[in-house]
Structure 1
């Protein structure tokens, strides 16, 4: 990654643009360490990494990286049994059940998922809920277990009231929790039983109810992209080019990454990539170009994977179209 960034600086001087690369780990050197230890089943090393991190730092990202590693389900149960008073292995186990559950379900639409796949999916999420609730009881100040329960709840379709309570429990502990807000946005969008109106209202309230310079600004862009995805061909592009859509994107940009109080948090690249795609779809080349410049070539998988299976290729295409 360091070599790639160096190439980006060199080629940037030659071409006026940095090399685009998939920024999977937010340039966090602990992420590959966590994956390697997870693959090796080295729980003591993982515990040390997690205990040295914080919820407002990179702990949740490390937990997701561990949970995405194949084979964790084979040894995490033993770690949980060996530490009956510890929340950390239960947190990891709960998140692994989430990713393992979705591996069984796949990303296909519900009508293409078999009954057996759904049964396995629900069983794994239910086990995840059990461990996450235990973690929440052992560490009542932690937001991460409640964040995980937001994800399991969506898969298990716990209903709007329980989903709302889990979101509120998360943000009471961590008011500007990006992951929790992203999950809540999904929960209230039309494809998960909500509506476009509810989704946009939530995004606006979350963004403009937060202090100026908030990292939550990308919620407005994500909401417009969600509605764009829902619409048929032709209607989708027409929607994104509506004057009110552009106006709302600019308002959110002014309240977030354009504001003097904005400080790049861990997920700054995700925020700017979401705005870059939204402004590109809206036909606002100048605003899109500004976002592409600010990303410094760092590409996040979402939302570009909606345009192409290769997010970097989609990013490059839209960046070129914006004249960057």
Structure 2
């Protein structure tokens, strides 16, 4: 990995290359609008933007754009109280409480998180779960509450069979929901009590059960990145550079982003960024270059935050320089 970073710095700036910047909205123009409305406490606009994005078109990205806005918890609970029969305010409040819970916990290792922080973390997640179950009961066709319950479940460390049922509930409603599959992949990762074998099996079965051109091919790349991340320096590079791993990445790309039926729908930008990072680490420069060029300098926080949590764009630029993309 250090060699790749050094190569990237040596190659320097490639003239004509788009300026790399983090795209917080992952290519979704409505995300900025709904986030700005949340910052202003403008429930009417938040509601209008969310209502215009039906569950069948996956509005989880918009929900998280609202949920990540600090201070939303101060006004959304008033909306919940004012509209006691409406499911959408409860859904927004739940998603905000999930983000708010992780703010309380912080990203520190468990040993560095206080008892008070953990209590606040669990309390906020429990509140979110109450609202999510109410929404799921009121709107049984909605996918979003079940997706969000996957997130709360991991934070609350629910049993594996419970987590699996929540995932299955989400994909019954939307069989190719990328976020739901991403959450289940995390659930079966070694770091969350699963195993590398279970993780890779889930990624491949999900990716190749989907039609050609589906976004779910990303799961294979994410699984290899998670495996790489779990290894020490040295073994990590040897793992991800193995011929069978490179072949696996290529096969997944052929079935998804390189497939003739692939369409740049919601989520496509993160998928390309993920393959760009995976191919770069694996040493497949040609494939990485193709992915970098497709992103046109638009960086998604995931997965580059695995390399540089404070500056994902810097990691992206270093690896793009290495690939010549």
Pair 1:236 & 2:236 matched: yes
Q: 1:196 to 1:156 in 2, by over 3 A?
A: same
Task: Return the alpha-carbon distance in structure 1 between the equivalents of residues 43 and 136 of structure 2.
Answer: 20
Number of the residue aligned with 2:70: 70
Cα drift, residue 306 of structure 1: 1.3
Name 2:20's counterpart in structure 1.
Answer: 20
TM-score of the superposed pair, with normalisation by structure 2: 0.93
**Superposed, which structure 2 residues align to 1:221-260 within 5 Å?**
221-260=221-260
Distance 2:18 2:41 in 1: 37
Change (3 A) 1:37 1:16: closer
1:311 aligns with 2:312: yes
Distance in 2 (CA, whole Å) between partners of 1:108 and 1:32 is 28
**Cα displacement string for residues 236-266 of structure 1 (whole angstroms, at most 9, x for unaligned residues):** 1111111111111011011001111111111
* Structure 2: tracts of 5 or more residues without a match: 1-13
Residue 268 of structure 1 and its aligned partner are, at CA, apart by 0.7
Moved over 6 A (4+): none
Equivalent-residue separation in structure 1 for 2:70 and 2:323 (angstroms)? 39
Corresponding residue for 1:212?
212
- Residues 131-152 of structure 1, C-alpha deviation per residue, up to 9 Å, x if partnerless? 0000111110000000000000
Q: Separation in 1 of the partners of 2:125 and 2:74?
A: 16
Q: Write the distance in 2 (CA, Å) between the matches of 1:30 and 1:225.
A: 30
Equivalence for 1:181: 181
Aligned residue for 2:200?
A: 200
Superposed CA RMSD in Å reads 1.3
1:46: how far off? 1.4
Q: Secondary structure at the match of 1:75?
A: helix
1:294 Cα deviation from its structure 2 partner: 1.4
Deviation at 1:58, TM superposition (A): 5.7
In the TM superposition, what whole-angstrom CA distance separates every residue of 1:279-309 from its partner, at most 9, and x where no partner exists? 1111111111111111121111111111123
Residue 40 of structure 1: how far off its partner (Å):
2.3
